[in-house]
Amino acid sequence: MRFFDAHSHIHGKEFDADRSEVLARMRATDVSTITVGTHFESSEKAVALAEKEKNIWATVGLHPTDTKESFDYEAYKKLALSPRVVAIGECGLDYFWEGDGDEREKQKEKFKTQINLALEIGKPIMIHSRPSRGSMDAYENVLDILTSNFSLPTSQSPGNVHFFVGNEKIARRFLELGFTMSFTGVITFARDYDEVIKFLPLSSILSETDCPYVSPVPYRGKRNEPAYVAEVARKIAEIKDISIDQTVSAIAGNINRVFGV
């Protein structure tokens, strides 16, 4: 497959009515994807879809804002042992909706539990980190947890930070740990992340849709889907002033290195 969407939710209800058509468009545009679980039921659906479609892989995990759902370690572990599961997550910290201190502590504990699962089974993590407005606080706390509580693998990438909106300082710290960072359709209509994309080595960049959200130009206002990741890859190539072939080849290599796909 030519293009790779590192983070989608194609197993979600938003695609129930026309998933076969969406999958056909993926095949027609040479797109593969990782469909990402956000709680146990969605993780089950992600794995089931990945086990049926050869160009789809899955993650299993509990989204940080789902603090009311308990994390059943053994149940998630059983799901995660499928050969079509390539990561644990999306997991991390989300402070955008200004949760109180108790809420943030719950998020931190569930994040640590999911890191432990990833380390036990030898798979990377798919990080969701969304800071509060005007801050880098969630990223800083994620990095503190990663560096203070865990011995991350050095022989392979420990994972990917999806929908990266951090600054160069934050990006540099994730680079030091071996993480990749993925970018969405936001970069096709906002210039806020051009400099951090220029700063990052191509070997640390992934493309994603996070569909059904944040459709890229020229699909703004429509439901997003994996086929549209080509627009993200083209924008990355434009920002870095390199060819699209060089960009998609590098992203494919990065996906293979991080997720074994």
pLDDT for 212 equals 98
Backbone CA torsion sign across 151, 156, 160, 165: positive
Model pLDDT for residues 199-221, shown as the tens digit of each residue: 999 999 999 999 999 999 999 99
| Residue 184 scores a pLDDT above 70 | yes
Q: What average pLDDT does the structure give for the chain?
A: 96
* 49 touches 21 (CB < 8 A): no
* 206 touches 236 (CB < 8 A): no
pLDDT for 154 equals 72
* Range in 51-60, 91-100, 114-123, 243-252 the model is least confident about: 91-100
Residue 254 CA to residue 132 CA, distance in Å, equals 29
| Residue 1 scores a pLDDT above 80 | no
Residue 65 CA to residue 114 CA, distance in Å, equals 14
Q: Average of pLDDT values for 47-54?
A: 97
Taking the CA of residue 11 as centre, how many other CA atoms within 13 Å lie in the half-sphere pointing to its CB? Answer: 27
Q: Average of pLDDT values for 22-38?
A: 97
How large a percentage of the chain has pLDDT more than 90? 91
| Residue 228 scores a pLDDT above 70 | yes
Model pLDDT for residues 114-142, shown as the tens digit of each residue: 999 999 999 999 999 999 998 999 999 99
pLDDT for 155 equals 73
Any idea what DSSP says for residue 15?
G
pTM recorded for the entire structure: 0.96
